[in-house]
Amino acid sequence: MKSTRVRVIVAAAAAGVALTACSPTQAGAAAVVGGDRISSNELDGNVREFEAALAKANVSVAQLQFPGSLPQVVLFQLATAKQYTKVAESKGVTVTDAEIDQVISATGGQAQHEQQMLQQAVAPSQSRDFTRAKLLMTKLMAKYGGGSDQAALQRGQEQAIKDLASVKITWNPRYGQINAQPSQEQPNLFLDSGRFGADPAAAPQQ
C-alpha cells in the first residue's frame, strides 16, 4: 500500500499550504481554509464514517500505511480538497456532474470508486467532492500549461501552486505541526502528533 502514502504526500507537496496557529476566534475548528471552517465535529464524523467503511471492507488502518494518524490524514484531505476547489473556482474553472460521473464510471462504479478513495483517507460521503477537487486542479494546471507535454504540465503545476498560496490553511495545532516538505526520510504530513498521536490500530503488528 506504499503507493497510497506517495499519493497523499504528493498532495501535500503540491499544495504549498501555509501554517498559522489557531486563533481564539476559530475555537472548535480543526482547520480554516480561506476563512471557511472545518469543525472538529465535522472531522470526527468523517473519521467515524471512515472507520466504519474500513471495518465493512475488512481493512485495517495499519494496512493503509498512512503518513500520520487517522484524524491527521482525514483532516488533511478535507482541507486540501476545499483549498483546491476554492482556488480553481476563483479562476473560473468548473467541473460538471457528468465529468465526475465519468471518472467514477471509469474506476468501476460508485462502490469501487469509494473503495479507492478509502486508500486516500477519504470517507465515502466525501468521495464525490474529493473527485471534483482533483478534477478542478487538473483543469487549472492544464489551463495554465497550455498543452499536454511535460513542460506544459510543469508550467501549469508551478502556477497552480502559486495560486494555492493565496488560500491559506490554518491548522489547529492540537493535530500537530504541518510538515511543509515531506520527504522519504520524514514522510509524515505533520511533524509531531499533537494531542492526536498515532492510532493504536496503526501500530506495527508483532
> Helix 110-118 vs helix 97-106: angle between axes, to the nearest 10 degrees?
80
Q: According to the model, what pLDDT value does residue 109 have?
A: 94
Out of 3.30.1490, 2.60.120, 1.25.40, 1.10.4030, which CATH number does the structure's domain 29-174 have?
Answer: 1.10.4030
Domain ranges for the chain, please list them. Answer: 29-174
pLDDT < 70 stretches in the chain = 1-27, 147-148, 192-206
Q: According to the model, what pLDDT value does residue 195 have?
A: 55
Q: How far apart are the first and last CA of the chain?
A: 18
Q: According to the model, what pLDDT value does residue 90 have?
A: 94
In sequence order, which residues have a C-beta less than 8 Å from that of residue 135 and are 6 or more positions away?
95, 99, 100, 103
* Largest Cα span, the chain: 52
Q: According to the model, what pLDDT value does residue 206 have?
A: 31
Residue type, 56: K
Q: CA geometry: angle at 164 spanning 51 and 192, to 5°?
A: 50
Q: Which of 58, 59, 64 is nearest to 2 (CA)?
A: 64
Q: According to the model, what pLDDT value does residue 9 have?
A: 37
pTM value is 0.81
Q: Which of 107, 127, 115 is nearest to 54 (CA)?
A: 115
Place of cell 482533483: 134
* SS3 call for 96: coil
C-alpha cell at 118: 478509502
Q: According to the model, what pLDDT value does residue 178 have?
A: 84
